[in-house]
Structure 1
Amino acid sequence: MGNTHQDPEAFARLLADVETKLFAPLPDETWVYPGHGGDTTLGAERPQLPLWRERGW
Structure 2
Amino acid sequence: MSKDSRQEKIAIDFRIIMAIAFTLIFWASAFAGIRVGLKAYSPENLVLLRFLTAS
TM range (shorter): 0.3 to 0.5
Q: TM-score normalised to the size of structure 2?
A: 0.38
Q: Would you tell me which structure has more helix in proportion to its own residues?
A: 2
Q: Would you tell me which structure has more strand in proportion to its own residues?
A: 1
Q: TM-score normalised to the size of structure 1?
A: 0.37
Which one scores higher on RCO, CA 8 angstroms, separation ≥ 6?
Answer: 1
